[in-house]
Amino acid sequence: MNDRKVNEVKKILVDWNPLGDKSIDIKDLNNYETEANDILFYIENNSQSDKKGSLEKRIEKIIKEVLNEAFDLYLTNEDCHEPALKIAKV
């Protein structure tokens, strides 16, 4: 995985901070590094296999699924729209 891309996605996630105040309670959060890697992995694999919808919509879904599963959140595609637009540019 490209370190520059991982760092850019981490920064987007940290700035957005979907966990809010709960982020300080998670000891191994590491500025969303694991989640940034997972999101990039799924974007790269998904972009080759599933061309339904726009890139931003696919990224919204990936962000939602990765973060909801990792942190037991209830994010919607709409919640993930702004970070998806930024991540699509990475």
Q: Note whether 13 and 70 are within 8 A (CB).
A: no
* Helix 81-88, helix 3-16: angle, nearest 10: 160
User: Which range has the worst mean pLDDT, 4-8, 43-47, 48-52, 63-67?
Assistant: 48-52
The total of structural domains in the chain comes to 1
Q: Side chain identity at 88, as an amino acid letter?
A: A
User: What pTM does this model have?
Assistant: 0.90
24-56 tens-digit pLDDT? 999 889 999 999 999 999 998 875 545 567 889
Q: DSSP string of 5-54? A: HHHHHHHHHHHH-TTGGGGGG-TT-GGGHHHHHHHHHHHHHHHHH---S-
Contacts of 2 by beta carbon, 8 Å cutoff, 6+ apart: 40
Domain of 65, in residue numbers: 3-88
The CATH number for 34's domain is 1.10.340
Question: What rounded mean pLDDT belongs to the chain?
Answer: 91
